[in-house]
């Protein structure tokens, strides 16, 4: 009987409906399936062929053929699973990287031929085109199979990868889709049994002749052993047949290259710093989940292999030795590994001996020193779901003791080991899983406990911690029991609802006392969001999966991660609960977990995980398009969160270290705003609190580090405080933006911001965002929002006034710009109140200047009177700054007051008064140069003399920073006239003791005649002589300075400086010669040096050679 035709599918892999392809073809032709085929299918799926042969003394050949025919896998889903990646490759690389896709293309192009099935062995050739200019490649492929599973593969391409190559895929798909075209033979042993001696000898000799170079040695060895009577081969009955299928004791599982899996995991872990390595390891975890979903035993096998390689990672020992934590990427992989083991151990269909073996392995791994510990202070024996008992707030000391009692060492495998004590035999649990209509009326006389149902008669699941119960849901979903997972999820949600009802009743009884106290202890020491078992995520994903609207084609890339396309959801009714849908339940559960008032866990990674888990849950919710039904759920849940007291993070009283609600509130605010603005604002404003800062920073106390968040040293446990403050700022920004045009809500939001946000950097960002929102391009500004932006900016200025930072200048400029947008009065107000906002330098150099620039005046569009008022305000500000800080503000004040004589005189007088009070020479010289530039040389001269009076330049300070200022002052006095020159000479002599500098000044003054008036317009007839007053005093001082400096240098001179000293003496001689008897004075000076320093013979020899 010919095998029935297989139904040919499209390019995507076929789903479970193609498992019975042959029978489908028969039915498609209107013929019922033969009883022989129906029986052969069942036998082929579950019995090893050896068992068939032992059970029946003689199996007819037609029956054998049908069993062999149906023993090959019938679904393409498994072929796809073992030949595709666990993640979506980059676009355009699918053919190059996904073996299933390549194999499908080879099949469709007719590349498979010479296909032969001999018993449980399939072989064939696959031709693959070569690269341009190269011949095509021919690969011989062999596949062994048993009980609808491929048990081994061999291909001439020598592919070394985790999964099947494209050529194995092509041959497998050919066998599934074109089963009738495959030549089918019984196992080779059946054929041999029909031959006589001559035929057998001919068969063997022809076989050896065809493959003599390969099999001749083996053939000779076997012949020798058979001829030896006592050999081992003669003691065994029969002979092996690779085409005869598996034995009874053989494991029945798909082929998995264990060595390649270990090698690949090892290599990926060694490249752990790269994003691609983590992504590929996650794809392998996804493949494990895919196998578990198909109830494939290789899922646990592959997980064991991966775990062994993870534990052999050399970085574990290094991190432990150094006392350093592992990287976040690595930590996340270990978390996923631990969660997968919980799913495997909790498997509802595994054999007890399998579970015992896994637990033994986990116990061994758990005791290893390098085995990572679970992060966070989560308990392993948390409170069970008990809806009739609501925890009552006690003292903070009791709460802290409970949180601290986290038990002994717990590794990432601790949860899986604990799951080994759980089972599925509970009668109530089995009834929940069995159907949707389970109620108290169905318990009959079996001792049904009414406490196991809620008042509406819906089942509850009690006596187990919530995370553990959710782990059961995740396990059912992971192992391919989606309906049972939904039923258990429904029972858990019924329990949570009842628990919340009792909690609210308990809170109402204690509400007055708690509100008077104003604080509470924590009612949930450990949160559900960020928990190692991710209970809220498990429930949400199970519920949302039931509501997905997706095409029915099989995806090549299950759980493909962040690249997944946006899915659409629909309402799917909950059986036994009229009016409810799984989509609404998912939203309710997510908000229940996100809104739970809970303590922040210990450790940086555990806290990061809380944030990451929050974002993942909200990302799931944001995929759901809200309709009227879901908006009603949002409204109801928002109301319950606001009334939830110490059980809700939005309650009226908060534990001081509870996790803030900013991220969740932002989602709720955005979602509720179009439908119920009042509720949206109430919820968001309630969530603005950050109690850990409120208890540490009393009202009115300035922020310790103004431009950063509170230092971690003050809150050693709150590693993510900066991130939380940023999220708080984002919530505030969302409210400000939404409230634009609504003065009532704008002022309420402003009050909340001022009360709850303590970071000046974030307040400044809010101010900037508000200003930007208030002034859209091409539209009139929102004056209220602009005023709020200015108010926030002023608050930042006051908070950071005593802290100098580079960001202050940016803030001050922005504040002036914001005030300008509001109007001239706002600008004048900040000028008039500058003492509490700015430093004198900021006020004089930025506020006053920026506020009076041409661009600002044009922007304000002021009339003449109003413009003069603004200028007067700026000048007053500048003068006040100059009086408070003349050193830095005098010159800006003078510059600003140039156009007003009275103000300019006042600024000049401030400089003169400051000079008497110790204003430094550098600043005086700067102002003096400014005065000269303004055409006021006498005032410049006055200030220069005041500066010289404070200056002192020693004999060895040739490069003193004031050298140029002194030369400028001397030039100024020379240009003014003999009188000013005479007055400055004594100051020069008293302040400057550097000989080269004195001689330089003297030379400059003798080059030209001095001026004859204040402006230096006329000059005397001839230059001054150096030997006459007033320059003779300067000449004497220069000569004396050279003599003193020479003796000072000779005291500690070294031979390498002799040359410099000779040059110095040359300059000295030039100065000496300016005097009438200078030649004689210099000769006496040299003689004195020779006598005094005659011990320095080499130096004195150089002196004689140069000067005689």
- 1086/359 Cα distance (integer angstroms): 102
Residue 390 scores a pLDDT above 60? no
The region of weakest confidence among 49-63, 85-99, 826-840, 973-987 is 85-99
Q: What is the pLDDT of residue 1020?
A: 52
- 482/542 Cα distance (integer angstroms): 8
User: Residue 141 contacts by C-beta under 8 Å, 6 or more apart in sequence?
Assistant: 123, 124, 125, 126, 153, 154, 155, 156, 167, 168, 170, 171
Q: In what order do the strands lie in the sheet containing 149-155?
A: 149-155, 137-146, 121-128, 112-118, 183-185
Instruction: State both tokens at 1039.
Output: 């000569």
Per-residue pLDDT, averaged over 184-190, amounts to: 79
Do 784 and 822 touch, CB atoms closer than 8 A? no
pTM here? 0.81
Q: Which of these, 853, 761, 756, lies nearest to 808 by C-alpha position?
A: 761
- 316/310 Cα distance (integer angstroms): 9
Per-residue pLDDT, averaged over 103-127, amounts to: 87
Instruction: State both tokens at 490.
Output: 């429904």
Residue 9 scores a pLDDT above 50? no
Q: What is the pLDDT of residue 866?
A: 93
Residue 27 scores a pLDDT above 50? no
Per-residue pLDDT, averaged over 668-682, amounts to: 97
Instruction: State both tokens at 27.
Output: 């039915």
- 1073/994 Cα distance (integer angstroms): 18
The region of weakest confidence among 78-87, 202-211, 632-641, 879-888 is 78-87
Per-residue pLDDT, averaged over 305-310, amounts to: 93
Q: What is the pLDDT of residue 90?
A: 43
Per-residue pLDDT, averaged over 1005-1009, amounts to: 85
- 996/958 Cα distance (integer angstroms): 7
Q: What is the pLDDT of residue 707?
A: 42
Per-residue pLDDT, averaged over 779-806, amounts to: 91
- 536/545 Cα distance (integer angstroms): 14
CA count, 13 A, side-chain hemisphere, 78: 26
Per-residue pLDDT, averaged over 100-106, amounts to: 86
- 245/45 Cα distance (integer angstroms): 12
Q: Note the pLDDT tens digit of each residue in 483-533.
A: 999 999 999 999 999 989 988 888 888 877 777 776 666 677 788 999 999
Residue 804 scores a pLDDT above 70? yes
Residue 89 scores a pLDDT above 80? no
Q: Note the pLDDT tens digit of each residue in 249-304.
A: 666 777 777 888 888 888 888 876 566 788 888 888 988 998 898 888 888 999 99
Structure-model confidence comparison of residues 521 and 22, the more confident one: 521
Q: What is the pLDDT of residue 1026?
A: 72
123's enclosing H/E stretch is strand 121-128
Q: Tokens 């009326």 sit at which residue?
A: 441
Q: What is the pLDDT of residue 97?
A: 63
Kindly indicate the confidence band of residue 603, based on its pLDDT and cuts at 50, 70 and 90.
confident
Do 525 and 399 touch, CB atoms closer than 8 A? yes
- 1011/972 Cα distance (integer angstroms): 10
The region of weakest confidence among 106-110, 244-248, 380-384, 641-645 is 244-248
Kindly indicate the confidence band of residue 806, based on its pLDDT and cuts at 50, 70 and 90.
confident
- 2/179 Cα distance (integer angstroms): 10
Range of 162-171, 912-921, 944-953 with top mean pLDDT: 944-953
- The average confidence (pLDDT) of the chain is 84
Per-residue pLDDT, averaged over 764-782, amounts to: 93
Q: Tokens 């198909």 sit at which residue?
A: 294
Residue 990 scores a pLDDT above 90? yes
Q: What is the pLDDT of residue 102?
A: 85
Do 755 and 691 touch, CB atoms closer than 8 A? no
For residue 328, with 0-12 CB atoms within 10 Å meaning exposed, 13-18 middle and 19 or more buried, which class applies? Answer: middle
Q: What is the pLDDT of residue 1013?
A: 52
Strand partners, 953: 992
Q: Note the pLDDT tens digit of each residue in 562-577.
A: 445 668 899 999 988 8
184's enclosing H/E stretch is strand 183-185
Per-residue pLDDT, averaged over 673-690, amounts to: 96
Helix (H, G, I), strand (E, B) or coil at 142: strand
The region of weakest confidence among 35-39, 727-731, 1093-1097 is 35-39
Structure-model confidence comparison of residues 58 and 753, the more confident one: 753
- 561/131 Cα distance (integer angstroms): 34
Q: What is the pLDDT of residue 940?
A: 95
Q: What is the pLDDT of residue 388?
A: 55
């Amino acid at each position: 009987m010919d095998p029935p035709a297989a139904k040919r599918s499209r390019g995507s892999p076929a789903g479970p409906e193609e498992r019975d392809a042959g029978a489908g073809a028969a039915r498609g032709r209107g013929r019922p399936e033969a009883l022989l085929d129906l029986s052969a299918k069942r036998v082929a799926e579950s019995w090893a062929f050896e068992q068939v042969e032992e059970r029946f003394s003689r199996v007819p050949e037609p029956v054998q053929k049908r069993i062999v025919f149906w023993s090959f896998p019938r679904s393409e889903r498994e072929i796809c699973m073992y030949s595709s990646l666990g993640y979506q490759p980059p676009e355009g690389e699918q053919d190059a990287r996904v073996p299933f896709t390549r194999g499908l293309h080879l099949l469709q192009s007719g590349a498979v031929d010479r296909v032969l099935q001999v018993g449980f062995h399939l072989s064939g050739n696959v031709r693959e085109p070569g690269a341009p200019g190269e011949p095509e490649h021919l690969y011989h492929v062999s596949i062994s199979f048993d009980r609808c599973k491929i048990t081994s593969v061999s291909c001439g391409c020598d592919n070394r990868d985790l999964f099947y190559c494209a050529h194995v895929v092509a041959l497998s798909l050919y066998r599934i889709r074109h089963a009738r075209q495959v030549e089918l033979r019984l196992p080779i042993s059946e054929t041999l049994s029909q031959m006589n001696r001559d035929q057998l000898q001919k068969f063997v000799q022809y076989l050896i002749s065809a493959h003599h170079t390969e099999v001749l040695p083996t053939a000779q060895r076997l012949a020798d052993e058979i001829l030896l009577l006592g050999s081992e081969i003669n003691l065994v009955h029969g002979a092996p047949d690779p085409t005869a299928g598996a034995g009874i004791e053989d494991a029945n599982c798909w082929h998995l290259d264990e060595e390649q899996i270990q090698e690949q995991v090892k290599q990926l872990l060694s490249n752990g710093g790269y994003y691609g390595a983590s992504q590929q390891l996650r794809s392998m975890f996804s493949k494990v989940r895919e196998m578990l979903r198909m109830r494939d035993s290789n899922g646990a096998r592959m997980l064991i292999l991966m775990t062994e390689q993870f534990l052999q990672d050399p970085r574990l020992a290094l991190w432990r030795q150094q006392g350093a934590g592992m990287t976040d990427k690595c930590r996340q992989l270990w978390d996923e590994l631990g969660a997968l083991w919980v799913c495997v151990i909790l498997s509802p269909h595994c054999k007890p001996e399998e579970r015992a073996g896994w637990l033994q392995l986990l116990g061994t791994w758990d005791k290893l020193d390098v085995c990572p510990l679970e992060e966070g202070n989560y308990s392993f024996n948390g409170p069970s779901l008990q809806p009739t008992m609501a925890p009552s707030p006690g003292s903070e000391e009791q709460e802290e003791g409970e949180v601290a009692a986290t038990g002994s060492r717990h590794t990432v495998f601790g949860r899986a080991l604990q799951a080994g004590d759980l089972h599925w035999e509970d009668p109530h649990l089995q009834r929940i899983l069995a159907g949707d209509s389970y109620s108290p009326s169905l318990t009959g006389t079996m001792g049904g406990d009414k406490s196991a149902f809620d008042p509406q008669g819906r089942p509850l699941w009690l006596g187990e911690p919530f995370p553990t119960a959710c782990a059961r849901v995740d396990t059912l979903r992971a192992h391919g029991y989606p309906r049972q997972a939904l039923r258990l999820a429904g029972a858990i949600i019924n329990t949570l609802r009842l628990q919340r009802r009792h909690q609210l009743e308990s809170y109402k009884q204690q509400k007055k006392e708690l509100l008077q106290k104003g604080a509470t202890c924590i009612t949930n020491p450990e949160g559900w969001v960020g928990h190692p078992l991710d209970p809220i995520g498990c429930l949400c994903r199970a519920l949302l999966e039931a509501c997905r609207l997706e095409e029915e084609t099989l995806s090549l890339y299950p759980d493909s991660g962040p690249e997944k396309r946006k899915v659409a959801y629909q309402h799917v009714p909950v059986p036994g609960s009229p009016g409810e849908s799984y989509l609404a339940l998912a939203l309710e559960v997510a908000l229940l977990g996100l809104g739970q008032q809970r303590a922040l866990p210990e450790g940086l990674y555990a806290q990061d995980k809380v944030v990451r888990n929050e974002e993942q849950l909200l990302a799931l919710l944001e995929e759901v398009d809200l309709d009227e039904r879901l908006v009603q759920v949002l409204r109801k849940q928002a109301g319950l969160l606001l009334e939830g007291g110490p059980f809700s993070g939005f309650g009226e009283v908060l534990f001081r270290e509870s996790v803030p609600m900013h991220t969740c509130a932002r989602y709720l605010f955005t979602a509720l705003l179009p439908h119920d603005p009042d509720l949206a604002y109430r919820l968001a404003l309630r969530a603005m609190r950050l109690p850990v800062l409120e208890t540490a920073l009393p009202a009115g106390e300035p922020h310790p580090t103004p431009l950063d968040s509170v230092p971690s040293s003050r809150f050693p446990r709150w590693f993510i405080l900066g991130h939380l403050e940023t999220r708080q700022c984002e919530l505030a920004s969302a409210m400000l933006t939404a409230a634009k045009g609504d003065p009532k809500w704008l002022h309420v939001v402003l009050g909340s911001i001022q009360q709850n946000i303590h970071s000046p950097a974030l307040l400044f960002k809010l101010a900037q965002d508000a200003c930007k929102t208030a002034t859209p391009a091409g539209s009139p500004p929102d004056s209220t929002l602009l005023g709020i932006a200015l108010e926030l900016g002023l608050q930042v200025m006051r908070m950071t006034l005593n802290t100098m930072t580079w960001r202050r200048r940016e803030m001050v400029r922005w504040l002036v710009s914001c005030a300008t947008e509001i109007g001239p009065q706002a600008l004048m107000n900040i000028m008039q109140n500058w003492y509490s906002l700015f430093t004198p330098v900021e006020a004089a150099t930025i506020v006053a200047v920026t506020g009076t620039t041409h661009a600002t005046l044009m922007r304000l569009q002021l009339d003449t009177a109003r413009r003069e008022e603004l200028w007067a305000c700026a000048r007053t500000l500048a003068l006040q700054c100059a009086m408070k800080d003349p050193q830095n503000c005098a010159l800006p004040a003078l510059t600003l007051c140039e156009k007003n004589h009275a103000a300019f005189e006042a600024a000049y007088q401030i400089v003169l008064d400051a000079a008497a009070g110790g204003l430094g020479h550098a600043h005086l010289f700067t102002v003096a140069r400014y005065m000269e530039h303004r055409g006021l040389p006498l005032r410049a001269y006055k200030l220069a003399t005041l500066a010289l009076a404070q200056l002192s330049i020693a004999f060895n300070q040739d490069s003193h920073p004031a050298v140029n200022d002194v030369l400028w002052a001397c030039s100024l006095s020379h240009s003014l006239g003999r009188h000013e020159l005479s007055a400055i000479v004594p100051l020069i002599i008293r302040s400057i003791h550097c000989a080269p500098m004195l001689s330089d000044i003297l030379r400059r003054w003798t080059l030209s005649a001095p001026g004859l008036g204040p402006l230096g317009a006329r000059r005397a007839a001839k230059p001054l002589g150096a030997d006459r007053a007033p320059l003779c005093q300067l000449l004497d001082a220069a000569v004396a300075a050279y003599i003193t400096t020479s003796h000072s240098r000779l005291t500690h001179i070294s031979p390498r400086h002799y040359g410099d000293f000779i040059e110095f003496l040359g300059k000295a001689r030039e100065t000496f010669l300016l005097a009438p008897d200078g030649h004689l004075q210099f000769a006496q000076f040299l003689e004195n040096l020779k006598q005094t320093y005659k011990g320095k013979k080499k130096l004195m020899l150089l002196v004689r050679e140069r000067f005689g």
